[in-house]
Amino acid sequence: MYLPKKLLSQYKQINKKYLVLIFSFGCIILLLIAAEAYYLNSENVKPAIFKTHEEKIFENYKNKIFGIDISHYQGRVEWGKLKKINKETEISFIIMRAAVGEDDEDQEFSTNWYHAKKLNIIRGAYHYYRPDENSIKQADNFISIVNLEKGDLPPVLDIEAVPSLQSIKSLKKGLKKWLNKVETHFGIKPIIYTSDSYYKNYLSDTTFQNYIFWIANFNPVMHPQFKKWKIWQFSKTGRIEGINHDVDFNVFNGNIEELKKMTKK
């Protein structure tokens, strides 16, 4: 059929418009199909789960018990809210700083000591040892502040610092004097708190081999280097309800009955 040139030109323009519309519509359909396929596939794909070091410890030691340690650095504790470390983990014990050096007392100790007992949580007290101060005066300071009762954990000697005015040999003699005097007074053998590295460098000889050790190691490991640890302080950045600052998390290498056996009779 013959068409005039003008009509033929109009016919071609109309065909081009239809082709553009058909192509555009086809692209939209393809995009909708692709989007639906992506949505259906994404529902079946589980997102990657990255566990924190703390979460790994809680999972790995789920058959053990956990506790915290506190001092005035944690501020005023809201004891009515202090029940669990996380949704699954009860606070089984709390160890609190009582004394520092020869003559300092932690300003929150008496309040913390009272409320832990009231909540029926196993409690303990520790002394922060200053290596260049007199060991006997430090022991006397701790004894004057702490009144251990039945069911309390043994006294804890916290040694972290290296002396600048005496030798390591003299330091160890002083530590032993503190331990002996405190044990004589309370009738129970103290626990030693220190870090993995401090133990390895200064305390790993036979002088302290008969003591229970509470070891600090915040590295992303699944256990301390010191194999005979009884308590492991594995985090210093824990957050729990009732405390508005970072708090130390600890795991006891045993169950609640084993912890109770360690307490004062």
- Our answer to whether residue 103 is catalytic in this structure is no
Check 69, 106, 140, 158 and give the catalytic one. Answer: 69
Contact criterion met (CB below 8 Å) for 199 and 162: no
- Our answer to whether residue 196 is catalytic in this structure is no
Distance, CA of 105 to CA of 16 (rounded, Å): 91
Residue 251 has phi, psi (to 5 degrees) of -120, 135
CA 64 to chain centre: 14
**Within 10 A of 262 (CB to CB), how many other CB atoms are there?**
19
CA 177 to chain centre: 31
Task: Show the DSSP H helices in the chain as ranges.
Answer: 5-44, 53-60, 109-118, 135-145, 168-186, 196-198, 256-262
Check 36, 160, 241, 258 and give the catalytic one. Answer: 160
Catalytic residue set: 69, 160
